[in-house]
Structure 1
Amino acid sequence: MNSFADDSILQKNLKVLSTISPGIEERILQSERQLEIKISKTGLPVLVADGVSLHSAMDPLTESKRLLEGLKKEDEERVFLFFGAGIGYSVQESLKLKNVTSVWMEAEASVLRYALSFFDYSKFLMSGALRILLSPILEQDLYAAFRGISGYPISFIAHRGSNQWKRESYEELRFIAEGFFHKKDVNISTLTRFERIWTRNFIANLPALSRMRPIKTLFGICEGKVDVLVCGAGPSLRLSLEELRSYRERYVIIAVDTALMVLWNAGIDPDLVFSVDPQALNSKYLEGYSGNAKIVFDPTSSYHSLRLPGEFKNGFFTSSPFPLIKILSSKPEEEIGVVDFGGSVSTNAVSLAEKMEARNILLLGQDLSFPNKLAHCKGAVLEERLNHIESRKLRREYHNHKQMTALPVKRASSLKDGTIRTNEKLLIFKKWFEEHPKKNPWFNLGKDGVVLEGIPNSGFAEYIQKNECDLAAVNLIRDRIAKICGRDGAQTNAAGKVQTRLQKEILSELTNLSAQLKTFSEKVRRGRVLSDRLYTQIKSEDRFKDQILKSLKEMDQIDEDVSSRKGLTEILGMSIQRTVLMITEGYEGGLTLEEKKNERLGIAKKSLLLYQGLEDACNLHSKLISKTIVQLSNP
C-alpha cells in the first residue's frame, strides 16, 4: 500500500472493530480502490483520491488542530461527530481530549482501509472513545454507536478534503445523522412525556379490555378479496367526503380516531376506528359517536375512551411492547396479534389493513403536510372545541399557526405540482409509507398533500374504472367484523365464558403482582435510603471514610436482590424512562459538574436516582393495581 502503512496495524484495528460492529471488517477488506499517497512538506502522509488531496499538502497536523480550535472541548462531556476524516488526523487530535467521545462516519471503505493502516486506534475503539460507522449505515448502527452518549452536546465536523472529493456522499452522512437525532429526540420526548400516563392507562383499561376481542381475530379476514380504505384526518379529507359517501359500500373502512366525527357528520360510518393516543383529550374524538364502527384500541390509549357510552367500545385490542401485556397473555404476539408501529395512528391502521389481507390498500386524508395552510381537517373535534375556548387573544387561526410552526419548516413535492409545506415529524411518517414493504398494492386517493413515492395517486372514478368490486364480498366481510364482537345467541354465551375466564385470569395476575410489589417496594425503599446515605458519605469522604466500605457491601446485597427480580424491574422500568435516560444518556443534565468530575460520586448519584425512580414506580403501580382489583372484584 505504502511505506507508511502497516498491515499488522490494519489487522489489529479490524480485529477490535469486528467485535463491535460485525460485518464491517469484511466490507473494508473487500474495498479494492487504490488511492495515492503523497508526502506533505512536514513529512506526513497525505491521501489523494481522484486527484483531490484530502489533507493539507503543507502540514496536515496543523490543519487538523485548526479544525478543532474553535470548538468547545473539555468543559463537559461532549461528542465530536466527523463526516469523513481522510487518514484521520483530526480524529487523532480529538482522541487526545479528556471529555470528548469521537464518532467517525465514513462514506468510502477504501479511505477507512488506508486510515486504519496508518494509526493504531484499537485501544480507543475498545474503550468506546472512538466509534466508527461505514456506509451504508442502518438505524440500528446509529443507535449502537450513540448508546450512552446521545444526551451529550454534539459538534458536527465536516472534513474539507472529503467534501471536495465527494460532496454528495459526505453530505448524505450529515443528513442521516440529522434525521436520526431528530427521530431520537421525538422518541425520547414521547417516552419521558408519557411514561406514567401509559402505565396508568394500561392498568385502568384492564377491566374493559377483558370484554374486548384480540386484534388477531381480524387477521386474514379479507382473504385478498376486498379493498380496505384507511382514512386519515388530513385537511384534504373534506374534498373527498362526497365521493366517499357515494362509494362507501365498495370498501371496508378503517378510520383513525381523529377522522371519525368528520366522517360521521358527513353521513359516513366506518367499520373500524383505530385509537392509540394516551392523552385524555383523545377520548373527545369519540364523544357523541353512536354508529356501528368497532374500536381498535391500544391498551395504553386513554382510559376515558372506554368509559364513554356507545357500542363502539365492544371492539378489539392490540398487543403492546409494555411488559404489562403479559397480564393479558403469556404469548401476546401469538394470542393477541401485533400491528407495525410507524409512529402515528395512520401507520398502525395501514398495518392492520395489511394483516387483514386486503386486496388493495387505499389511503385517504394522508396529507402529511399543511394544504391551504391548514393543520387538520375542518370539522375535526379539536377545531370544534375551539368554539368553547376561543377569545380575542386565542383565535383558531393562531392555534392553527402554532401547530404549523411547532417544528422547523420543510418542503416536499405536492400532489398539485410544485412543493408543499410540511415538517420533520410528518416527513418521518412519509418515509414510513414509502419504505414499508408492500405485500399488496397501495393507492393514494387523496386530492392534496405530499407525493408518496412508490404509491400511485388516483381519483375515486379512475380507481373504480380499473378495479372491479364484489359488493357481496364486501358486505360479507363487514358482517363478519360486526359479528366477531356480536352480542346475540350462542356466540354471546361463548364470548361471555371467554370474558369471564379472562377476567379471572387478570384478577389473579394483578393480585399476585400486588403481593410481589409489597415485598419488592420495601427492598427498594431500603435501597433508596442507603444510596442516599452512601452519596452523602462519598461527598464528604474525609468524615465518613471508615463507613463507606460497610455501606458499599450493604448496597451490593440490595442491588443483587433488586436485579434478581427481572420481571418486576421490567414492568416498573417503563414508568421511569426519564430517570433511566438521565442515567444512561445524560438526559436533562442528570449529573452536576461536581458529580461528573468525581466518578465515585457520579455512580452514587446514579444509584440514588434509580432507587428514587423505582420507589415512585412501586407506589404508582400499587395504587393503580389496587383500584383495578376492586373494579374486577365487583363487576
Structure 2
Amino acid sequence: MENQIYQNNISVLKEIYGENIIDILSDESDEEIIVEEAKDGSYTLKIVSDGQSRYITSKYAPIREAKKFVNNIEDYDYETLFIVFGMGIGYHIFELSKLLGENNKILIIEPSISIFRKSMEISDWTDLMKKGKIFFFVGEDIELIDQFYNRHINELNVSNIEFLVFSHYDKFFPEIYRGVVKRLKECIEYIQVSICTLKYFSNQLNYNLFKNLKEIIKGNNIKLLKNKFKDIPAIIVSAGPSLDKNIRQLKEAQNRAVIIAGGRTLKPLLDNDINPDIVVSLDPARAVYELIKDNLDKEIPLVTTVISQSDIIREYRGKKYFSNVLESIGLINYLLSKEIDRIPQGGSVANMSLSLADYMGCNPIILIGQDLAYTDGRVHAQNSTYEFDGNNKKPNEGLIEIEDIYGNRVYTNKVWLSFLRWFELYIRENSEKEYIDATEGGAKIKGTKIMSLKETIEKYCTKEVNIAERLKNIDSSESDIIEKITHSLRRLQELKKNLIKVKKKSISGIKFSKKMLEYYRDNREYDINEILKALDDIDEDIKKYKLMTMGIYHFISPIILQIYHKEEFREKVNETEKERGIRLAKKSYTLYEGIKNSIERVIPLIDECIEDFKQYERSMKYE
C-alpha cells in the first residue's frame, strides 16, 4: 500500500503535470532500488542492475553529502536557474532550496523512474512544487529534454544558469548525461542566436512594423488560409545543396501538392518552369530584398509577418497574407481593432513554411533542399546562390558534426542546428501528420520519413487539385479600406500622444533614480522614502500604458536583456542595504533611460506612418 507522503506528492504532481504522470511512473524498469538506513539515521539508495549493486547516495552520511554538495556551489545569485542532474532521495535539493530567493528555480533531471518513485515515497516535495520552485524531468528519453528546456530557459535567464551533477550520476548514467549536456548547450546556443538576432535587427523590426502597417490593413489575415488545403500534400522547397538533384522533378507535383517557396528558391523554380503556389518571406533585413527583387511582379500569394522586410511587402504585387508575431500581438490588435492569427515561425523560412503547411491542413508535409548541412562541402544549391553570398563553400571553422540521412557524419553549424532542432520539436509536438524528408542528402531530421522525391510524388501526389484557383477564390472581402485606414490613423495619433506621456514619466524616473543612487552611493541627505514612493508611482503610471509601450518593444528589448544579463543588476546573496540600493538605482536608471531613448526613436516612425495614412486618405477621396 502506498504511503501518505507518496499520495500527497502524486496529488500535487497530477495538478502540475496532468494525469499522464501516472503512466510515466508506472513504466517498468529492469533495475531494483533498495532503500537502506544510513549510519547517520537518514536513508540511502542502492541500485541493483545486471547483478551489480551500487549506492546512489552516501552509504554513511547522506545529509553531510547533501550539505557538501551545496557548499561547493560558488557562482550564483538570487536569479540563478539551477539545473541538477540527479535527484536521489532529494536531501541535496532540500539543502539547495534553502539558498533560493524569490526568482530562483531548480530543474531536476532524474534518469531513473525507479529512483524518482522511491524519492516520492520518502521525501515530501509538496511545498517546493506548490511554490513553483522545482520542476522535474524524469526518464531516459533525451528527445523530450528539448521541450523541458524550452519551457524554463529563455532570453532573460540564459546567461545565469548553474548546471550541477549530484554524486556520481554522470558515471551511473553516462549516455544520458552526455545527451542532457549536449542538448542544454544547443538550447543555450539557440537562445543566444535569437538574442543576437534581436539586438542586430531591433531597429529594423520596429521600422518594419510601422512601415508595413498600411499594407497589413490592405492585405489579408493568415486566418483565411487555415485548413484550406486539408489532407493535400505540401512540398517545402529550400535552397540546400541537394536541391540540384531533384528540383526538375517538382514539375510532376504541380497541381498535385501545394508547393511553398522562399525568396531564395523562387527564382530557380521559375527558371525551371515550376510555379510555386505560395512564397514565404520571414526575414526583416534588406538583404532578402535582393533575393526576390526581380520577381516582385508575380501574382503568387505571399505569406509573411507584420515585421518582415518592408520593401518586399510594399512592392510585391501578389495577394499578401500576414501572420502576427508574439511581441506585437497587443499593439497590432489595438491599431487595427482586430486579431491577426499567428503561426510559429522558428528561425528560418523553412521553419515557418512547415508550420504554415500544417496550419493550412496539408498532409503529408514534404521537405526538399532541406540539407541543414554542408552537403558536398557546399552552402546552397548551385542555382540558388547570389553574388552577395560570396563563395559557396564550407567554412573551416564553427563546424559541428551530426548524423546525415544515410547514417554517416556530416558538418553543420550552430544556426542550422537550431533550425534542425526546431523542426524535430515541432514534428514531435504535431505528430498526427506525416513528415517526409525528400531532400536526398543532408542532416537527418528525426520524426521524418526518408524517401526520394520521385517515390514521394508517385505515392502521395496522385490527385489533381487546382491550387492556384483555390487560392484565388479565397474570400478576403472586408469593410472599406479607407474606413480602416481612418480608424488606424486615430489609433496611431493616440499611440503617439500616450508614448509622449510615458516619455515624460521616464524622464522623471531618470531624475529620481539619480537621486536614489546619490543617496546610497554618495550619502546625500535626501528623503529616501519620498524618492522610493516617487519611483513606485512612476512605475504604476507607466504600467497603465503597457499596451502603448508595445510600440517600442523591439527598441527596448536589448535594454531589458542588458538589465537581466549584467551581473551588476542581479540580486546578490547577502548584499547590504547600501549595495542593494545602488544596484536598484542603476537598474532603474538604465530602464528609464532606455524607455526615453526608445520613444524618441519610435516617434518619427509613427509620424511618418501618420503622414502616409493622411496622404492615402486624401488620394482615395479624389479617386
User: 2:305 is matched with which residue?
Assistant: 298
Q: 1:202 Cα shift?
A: 0.7
Q: 1:273 Cα shift?
A: 0.8
Q: Return the alpha-carbon distance in structure 2 between the equivalents of residues 68 and 256 of structure 1.
A: 51
Distance 1:170 1:505, change over 3 A: same
Deviations 1:97-116 (A, max 9, x none): 69997543323455356557
TM-score, scaled relative to structure 1: 0.80
User: 2:438 is matched with which residue?
Assistant: 445
Q: Return the alpha-carbon distance in structure 2 between the equivalents of residues 25 and 459 of structure 1.
A: 38
Q: One-letter code of the match for 2:357?
A: A
| Superposition pairs of residues 359-508 of structure 1, within 5 angstroms | 360-381=364-385, 383-386=386-389, 396=391, 400-401=394-395, 405-406=397-398, 409-414=400-405, 416-423=406-413, 424-432=417-425, 434-438=427-431, 440-467=433-460, 469-471=462-464, 473-474=465-466, 477-482=467-472, 498-508=480-490
TM-score, scaled relative to structure 2: 0.81
| Percent of aligned pairs with the same amino acid | 22
Q: 1:125 Cα shift?
A: 7.3
Deviations 1:296-315 (A, max 9, x none): 1211011122344x524x42
SS in structure 2 at match of 1:55:
coil
| Superposition pairs of residues 521-540 of structure 1, within 5 angstroms | 521-540=503-522
Q: 1:559 Cα shift?
A: 1.6
Distance 1:466 1:14, change over 3 A: closer
Q: Return the alpha-carbon distance in structure 1 between the equivalents of residues 14 and 524 of structure 2.
A: 44
Q: Return the alpha-carbon distance in structure 1 between the equivalents of residues 208 and 586 of structure 2.
A: 31
Q: Indicate whether 1:341 and 2:338 are aligned.
A: no
Distance 1:328 1:478, change over 3 A: farther
Farther-moved stretch of structure 1 (26-35 vs 322-331)? 26-35
Asked if the contact 1:412/1:419 (under 8 Å) is kept, the reply is yes
Q: Indicate whether 1:253 and 2:255 are aligned.
A: no
SS in structure 2 at match of 1:46:
strand
Q: 1:327 Cα shift?
A: 4.5
Distance 1:610 1:350, change over 3 A: same
Q: 1:479 Cα shift?
A: 2.7
Match of 1:591 among 569, 590, 611: 569
Asked if the contact 2:221/2:321 (under 8 Å) is kept, the reply is yes
Match of 1:633 among 594, 614, 618: 614
Deviations 1:146-178 (A, max 9, x none): 579834544433334445555455555445544
Q: One-letter code of the match for 2:418?
A: K
Q: One-letter code of the match for 1:366?
A: Q
| Count of paired positions | 594
SS in structure 2 at match of 1:37:
strand
SS in structure 1 at match of 2:36:
strand
SS in structure 2 at match of 1:301:
coil
| Superposition pairs of residues 501-516 of structure 1, within 5 angstroms | 501-516=483-498
Q: 1:93 Cα shift?
A: 5.9
Q: 1:341 Cα shift?
A: 2.8
Q: 1:219 Cα shift?
A: 3.2
Distance 1:479 1:591, change over 3 A: same
User: 1:83 is matched with which residue?
Assistant: 85
User: 1:197 is matched with which residue?
Assistant: 204
Q: 1:84 Cα shift?
A: 0.4
Q: Return the alpha-carbon distance in structure 1 between the equivalents of residues 310 and 586 of structure 2.
A: 36
Asked if the contact 1:277/1:301 (under 8 Å) is kept, the reply is yes
Deviations 1:85-141 (A, max 9, x none): 42345446656769997543323455356557777888877888x634242677675
Asked if the contact 1:52/1:164 (under 8 Å) is kept, the reply is no
Match of 1:315 among 311, 314, 320: 320
Q: One-letter code of the match for 2:395?
A: H
Farther-moved stretch of structure 1 (196-205 vs 52-61)? 52-61
Q: One-letter code of the match for 2:191?
A: K
User: 1:550 is matched with which residue?
Assistant: 530
Deviations 1:22-71 (A, max 9, x none): 65997699779984233555665421122321134355566567767876
| Superposition pairs of residues 40-51 of structure 1, within 5 angstroms | 40=38, 45-50=43-48, 51=53
SS in structure 2 at match of 1:286:
helix
Q: 1:440 Cα shift?
A: 4.7
SS in structure 2 at match of 1:259:
helix
User: 2:619 is matched with which residue?
Assistant: none
Distance 1:195 1:72, change over 3 A: same
Farther-moved stretch of structure 1 (447-456 vs 112-121)? 112-121
User: 1:156 is matched with which residue?
Assistant: 163
Q: 1:628 Cα shift?
A: 0.6
Asked if the contact 2:217/2:336 (under 8 Å) is kept, the reply is no
Distance 1:268 1:532, change over 3 A: farther
SS in structure 2 at match of 1:634:
helix
Q: One-letter code of the match for 2:324?
A: S
